[in-house]
């Protein structure tokens, strides 16, 4: 079976662009703190969600609604309403990370298909099968810490479908298990749906150099004419011991396009593209390329090489953990 391409849509326009470009499935979120891309000007209100689902279904595509932050104590109703509204909008599944929310969805909407978000960091077959037994989870988005052989081993031990990230931003910490951002800024992916938020970024002229600060901490400094990378905490410059540099991860993004055949052999059902914050033209181009790749694979042809290199953040890409050179 052809591998499913799961594409990001930060706006209704991006959803339509992704569907027209050949996305099998689109994922999106409501315009509030219930999803992990809670950026200004992004995401869907209730009417837009209903219309988006209608458009996708008319064109034979599916829509997944990400409700993948961890509800704030005292305010769970906001997250419950998001699940109710995704259900009534006709979403094909919701993508959840919080066990309390999975429990709510499984009980109140037994006909709603549940996907486990990468934010749940389910990194082995035991926990994946546990989520399937406890809540009826049908698909898991695997954390970006696993290699291809590890993914194959998981698929051998579970009937839950697996979806893996193949393109876009790359977390080096276990997803949903990181509070670096709230330590520096007070806002975190788990609680607020943002990481290293732009509201806390400051660029400063430092004697001919450009410093990038996050929450007052200087984590990049470049010459005036060099491109200044966005100060994402885990990709910042630091010093420890007698070393300095990108101690956690270089400012690279993920591109696993050439590993698609291996991922298919490893039993992966769906390929996920990161980037709900990206423009519709970017989304359309990435989708088209990945759709061509899986169609070529299905037809027994070779993949085109380097098809997406120019679209990557900072131009530098990595196959991430899939080819684990650091193990």
Partner 1 sequence: MELTVGANQFFWTADNWSALYDELTTAPVDRVVLGEVVCSKRLPFYQDRIPEAVARLVDAGKEVALTSLALITLKRERKLTAALAEMGVTIEINDLTALAHLPTGADFWVGPLVNVYNEGTLTWLAGLGASRVCLPPELPLASVETLASLGADLGVAIEVWGHGRLPLAISGRCYHARLHKRTKDNCQFACEDDPDGLEVRTLDDQPFMAMNGVQTLSGSYACVDHQVELLTKAGVSALRLSPQSQGFLRVCELYRDRVSGAKPAGSVADEARKLVPDANLSDGFLTGDNGASWSQDIAS
**Minimum CB separation from partner 1 for residue 66, in Å?**
16
**Minimum CB separation from partner 1 for residue 262, in Å?**
19
Classify each residue of 167-203 as buried b or exposed e, where b means 16 or more C-beta atoms within 10 Å of its C-beta.
bbbbbbbebbebebbbebbebbbbbbbbbbbeebeee
Looking at beta carbons only, is 198 or 309 nearer to partner 1?
198
Looking at beta carbons only, is 29 or 71 nearer to partner 1?
71
**Minimum CB separation from partner 1 for residue 39, in Å?**
19
**Minimum CB separation from partner 1 for residue 186, in Å?**
4
Looking at beta carbons only, is 270 or 321 nearer to partner 1?
321
Q: How far is CA 23 from CA 30, 121, 239, 290, 321, in A?
A: 20, 25, 43, 9, 25
CA dist 2 and 294 (Å) reads: 6
Structure tokens at 283: 């989304």
- Per CB under 8 A, residues contacting partner 1 are 70-74, 76, 97-101, 103-104, 121-124, 126-127, 129-130, 143, 145-146, 150, 153, 172-174, 176-180, 182-186, 188, 190-191, 211, 215, 217-221, 234, 236-241, 243-244, 247-249, 321, 325-327
**Minimum CB separation from partner 1 for residue 4, in Å?**
25
Looking at beta carbons only, is 72 or 224 nearer to partner 1?
72
Looking at beta carbons only, is 18 or 178 nearer to partner 1?
178
CA dist 125 and 156 (Å) reads: 9
Written in H, E and C, the secondary structure of 90-146 is: CCCEEEECCHHHHHHHHHHCCCCCEEECHHHCCCCHHHHHHHHHHHCCCEEECCCCC
**Minimum CB separation from partner 1 for residue 200, in Å?**
9
**Minimum CB separation from partner 1 for residue 173, in Å?**
4
Looking at beta carbons only, is 39 or 248 nearer to partner 1?
248
**Minimum CB separation from partner 1 for residue 221, in Å?**
5
Let me know how long the chain is: 327
Looking at beta carbons only, is 99 or 306 nearer to partner 1?
99
**Minimum CB separation from partner 1 for residue 42, in Å?**
23
At 14 the three-state DSSP class reads: helix
CA dist 316 and 235 (Å) reads: 13
DSSP 30: B
- H/E stretch holding 107 reads helix 99-108
Cα four-point dihedral sign 247, 319, 124, 70: positive
Looking at beta carbons only, is 188 or 285 nearer to partner 1?
188
Q: Are 238 and 154 in contact (CB under 8 A)?
A: no
Residues near 13 by beta carbon (within 8 Å), at least 6 away in sequence: 280
CA dist 259 and 263 (Å) reads: 6
Looking at beta carbons only, is 146 or 263 nearer to partner 1?
146
């Amino acid at each position: 079976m052809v591998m499913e391409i799961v594409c990001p849509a930060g706006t209704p326009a991006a959803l339509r662009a992704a569907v027209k470009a050949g996305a099998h499935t689109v994922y999106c979120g409501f315009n509030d703190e219930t999803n992990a891309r809670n950026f200004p000007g992004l995401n869907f209100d209730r009417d837009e969600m209903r219309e988006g689902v209608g458009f996708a279904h008319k064109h034979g595509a599916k829509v997944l609604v990400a409700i993948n932050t961890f509800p704030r104590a005292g305010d769970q109703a906001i997250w419950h309403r998001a699940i109710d509204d995704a259900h009534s909008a006709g979403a094909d599944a919701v993508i959840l990370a919080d066990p309390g929310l999975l429990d709510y969805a499984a009980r109140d909407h037994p006909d709603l298909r549940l996907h486990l978000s990468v934010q749940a960091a389910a990194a082995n077959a035991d926990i994946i099968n546990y989520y399937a037994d406890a809540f009826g989870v049908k698909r898991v988005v695997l954390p970006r810490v696993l290699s291809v052989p590890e993914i194959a081993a998981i698929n051998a031990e579970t009937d839950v479908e697996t979806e893996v990230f193949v393109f876009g931003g790359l977390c080096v910490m276990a997803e949903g298990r990181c509070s670096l951002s709230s330590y520096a800024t007070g806002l975190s992916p788990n609680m607020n749906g943002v990481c290293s938020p732009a509201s806390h970024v400051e660029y400063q002229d430092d004697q001919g150099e450009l410093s990038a600060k996050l929450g007052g901490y200087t984590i990049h400094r470049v010459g005036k004419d060099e491109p200044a990378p966005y100060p994402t905490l885990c990709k910042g410059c630091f010093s420890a011991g007698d070393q300095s540099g990108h101690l956690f991860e270089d400012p690279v993004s993920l591109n696993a396009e050439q590993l698609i055949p291996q991922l298919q052999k490893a039993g992966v059902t769906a390929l996920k593209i990161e980037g709900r914050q990206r423009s519709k033209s970017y989304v359309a181009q990435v989708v088209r390329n990945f759709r061509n790749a899986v169609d070529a694979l299905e037809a027994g042809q070779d993949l085109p090489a380097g098809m997406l290199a120019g679209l990557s953040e900072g131009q530098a890409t990595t196959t991430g953990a899939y080819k684990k050179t650091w193990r």
